[in-house]
Structure 1
Amino acid sequence: MTAEADLLPPEELERRLRAIGEERYHVHHPFHHLLHGGRLTRGQVQAWALNRYYYQASIPAKDASLLARLPTPALRREWRRRLVDHDGDGVTPGGVERWLKLCDGLGLDRDYVVSLRGLLPGTRFAVDAYVRFVRERSVLEAVASSLTEMFSPAIISQRVAGMLRNYDFVTEETLAYFTPRLSQAPQDVAFALDYVKREARTRAQQEQVLDALRFKCDLLWAQLDALHFAYVSPGLPPPGAFRP
């Protein structure tokens, strides 16, 4: 059978990508169910926010590394928009600043959060692996790894509604980070999904796209594994990690 005959139709590639999210996205993780179900203490929610900050703050770094490798002005303009979404434009705060305000609202000391002194090793390893993946793998794989955004509107809706309903220490202002992502994420997905469906021109490249999304889902899952182990069960934060 020829390589051309092996090639998945674009709609089948998209179907398989979405199936990966249905199986592997961290919306299914027990820690997420505890978080939006109101079954965590304030200190456990603080631990989640503090560790998630490192992921949020690292997104511009991984996007900048990819921006430097994009071959056309049109692609660079698209990816530059993502940098502004997260870093802000000097007037309107970006996602990183909004996440710090979330941490403020939960009662965390901002200097402590930014210092990363309380970070779990599992969080650091997972996030650093993502930045390294985007920096070192092909542009196609790097773009494909961003496609977890296909599934983020659902988790955002669950998270915001559940946390507002179940925690008296959470307000709409605290969770303001998530509101812009409801419009930014679909825009990001439309571009990235079109790109991988168009640029994955061999079956091997299509498999790379699928593997990149699996990798991204796995590292998001690993971050919640680390949180669950340290702060829920058995509840053993490592030396130096944040302790509520």
Structure 2
Amino acid sequence: MNAIANDNLPWSREEFEEKLREKGKGYHIYHPFHVMMYEGKLTKEQLQCWVANRFYYQIAIPMKDGAILSNCPDVEVRKQWIVRITDHDGVGDTVGGIEAWIQLGAAVGLSREDIVSLKMVSPGVRFAVDAYINFAKQRTWQESVCSSLTELFAPHIHQQRISSWPTMYPWIKEEGLTYFKKRLTEARRDVEQGLDVTLNYFSTSREMQMKALDILQFKLNILWVIADSIMLASTLDIKIDGKDYFHQPVINF
């Protein structure tokens, strides 16, 4: 009886944080497409496809954060959280994350029109990103904050690109790495706030803690589906009724 009762008790704050961090085993850094990216095995066209599709996710981030702010009655939380929007949108002449991503597009050989027109974005990426925005709009602000905790694992993937791309993809212009360098510090700062909110709000019961883990898994699934969709879009050349659906060369994963 005591063993069963203990199983229902909330984890300690430290144990709960460890459980959240363990979710990093499912981060998209381990997706085959990202593994190939790190190993320098993607073609120029495949990297261009990734950059163009991921832009749809980048422009969704301020909308997701705006949804969190609109649902949050806590002034102090809003004061801190609003910085995430200006990080991506920029302030005045300061380059934000969205513009930095457009610069990344230029560095891999895409025009601004290629990026901002969204003409290269696959239906799967649109569906996954839109599902994430809708989640932030419809759920409590604390649940939406929890979903942002994939930032726990982001600095590693940003550093990986900064370290490997100059060697693996020397044709990419150096200024294209600005986005990743910006996010190295921004993501670490953001994690502190998001983690604090999550640990405080969801620690009232084991059931709530499990709910937080499920929410984080949902976001991990979103990122994985995005990678799946980009991998499909960049590796298949399908012709149906004479119409080309994808134009990238086939590779073997």
Q: Same fold (TM over 0.5)?
A: yes
After superposition, residues 108-187 of structure 1 pair within 5 angstroms as 108-187=110-189
Contact 2:234 2:246 in 1 (8 A): no
After superposition, residues 5-154 of structure 1 pair within 5 angstroms as 6-21=9-24, 23-154=25-156
Contact 1:85 1:94 in 2 (8 A): yes
Any idea what the Cα deviations from partners look like across 1:25-51, whole Å, max 9, x if unmatched? 001011001112111111110000000
CA distance in 2, matches of 1:153, 1:47: 22
Any idea what the Cα deviations from partners look like across 1:71-103, whole Å, max 9, x if unmatched? 121111111110011111122111001000100
**Superposition TM-score, scaled by structure 2 size:** 0.89
Consecutive aligned runs of 4 or more in structure 1 exceeding 6 Å deviation? 1-4, 237-242
The one of 211, 214, 220 aligned to 2:214: 211
After superposition, residues 220-235 of structure 1 pair within 5 angstroms as 220-232=223-235, 234-235=236-237
TM-superposed CA distance for 1:112, in Å, is 2.7
CA distance in 2, matches of 1:192, 1:36: 28
How many residues align structurally?
A: 242
TM-superposed CA distance for 1:160, in Å, is 2.0
Unaligned residue ranges in structure 2 (runs of 5+): 249-253
- Of 212-221 and 201-210, deviating more is 201-210
Superposed CA RMSD in Å reads 2.1
TM-superposed CA distance for 1:118, in Å, is 1.7
Q: Percent identity?
A: 40
CA distance in 1, matches of 2:244, 2:186: 35
TM-superposed CA distance for 1:70, in Å, is 0.9
Given residue 133 of structure 2, which amino acid in structure 1 is its aligned partner? V
Which structure's CA Rg is the greater one? 2
**Superposition TM-score, scaled by structure 1 size:** 0.93
Contact 1:117 1:240 in 2 (8 A): no
Structure number with the bigger relative contact order (C-alpha 8 A, sep ≥ 6) is 1
- Of 59-68 and 222-231, deviating more is 222-231
TM-aligned CA distance change 1:236 to 1:29, over 3 Å: farther
CA distance in 2, matches of 1:224, 1:8: 33
CA distance in 2, matches of 1:104, 1:242: 21
Given residue 125 of structure 1, which amino acid in structure 2 is its aligned partner? F
SS in 1 for 2:175: coil
Given residue 213 of structure 2, which amino acid in structure 1 is its aligned partner? L
